DNA sequence: CGCGTGACCAGTT
DNA sequence: TAACTGGCCACGC
């Protein structure tokens, strides 16, 4: 599929797939990387569309505060937390602890 | 073809 | 400090 046929959603899904295990990122960072810093909402919507897709680690995308805002879209509300903890990320109260420590910024990791 | 809405974010009031 | 607002894209009705 040609890049030009890629929708915003497609790009979001691609970036999400590149998130390393044990790392997390947020909606704004992905939106910014795609050149649409004001479209972080749409990134969230794109992840919603990605729900149920095993090839997309949607659980590694949290909001700016490290809050697992998308947890309710998984099969079970705590599934997202379990996946993250399994990757070595500590979570307390539906929120990622030491977010900056695990944060993965596509702008820096991909563009270098 | 128009309108409402949705896993958000940053700046203002 | 809390609440409000604009911005942005895709999709369903």
Give residue A91's domain range: 3-101
Residue at A109 is within a domain = no
pLDDT number for residue A4? 55
CB-proximal positions of chain C, under 7 Å: 6-11
Q: In this predicted structure, what is the pLDDT of residue A30?
A: 94
pLDDT tens string A16-33? 999 999 999 999 999 999
Q: How far is the CA of A76 from the C1' of C7 (A)?
A: 32
Assigned domain for A78 exists:
yes
- Best-predicted range by mean pLDDT among A11-15, A36-40, A85-89? A85-89
CATH number at residue A40: 1.10.10.10
Q: Which protein residues have their Cβ less than 7 angstroms from some atom of strand C?
A: A 7-9, 36, 38-42, 45, 49
Residue A110 lies in a domain: no
Q: Model's pTM, two decimal places?
A: 0.91
**Which nucleotides along chain B are within 7 A of a protein C-beta?**
6-10
Residue A68 domain flag: yes
Residues 6+ apart with CB under 8 A from A88: A22
Please name the residue whose C-alpha is nearest to the C1' of nucleotide C7: A38
Please give the nucleotide, over all strands, whose C1' is closest to the CA of residue A51. Answer: B7
The tens digit of pLDDT for each residue in A48-100 reads 889 888 899 999 999 999 999 999 889 888 999 999 999 999 999 999 999 99
Q: Give the CB-side neighbour count of residue A44, counting CA atoms within 13 A.
A: 18
Quote the number of domains for chain A.
Answer: 1
- Interacting residues of A72 by C-beta distance below 8 A, sequence separation 6+: none
């Amino acid at each position: 599929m040609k890049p030009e046929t890629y929708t915003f959603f497609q790009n979001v899904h691609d970036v999400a797939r590149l998130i390393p295990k044990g790392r997390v990122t947020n909606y704004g960072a992905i939106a910014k990387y795609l050149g649409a810093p004001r479209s972080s909402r749409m990134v969230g919507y794109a992840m919603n569309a990605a729900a149920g897709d095993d090839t997309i680690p949607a659980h590694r995308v949290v909001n700016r505060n490290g809050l697992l805002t998308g947890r309710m879209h998984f099969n079970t509300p705590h599934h997202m937390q379990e996946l993250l903890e399994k990757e070595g990320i500590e979570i307390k109260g539906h929120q990622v602890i030491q977010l900056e420590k695990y944060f993965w910024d596509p702008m820096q990791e991909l563009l270098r």
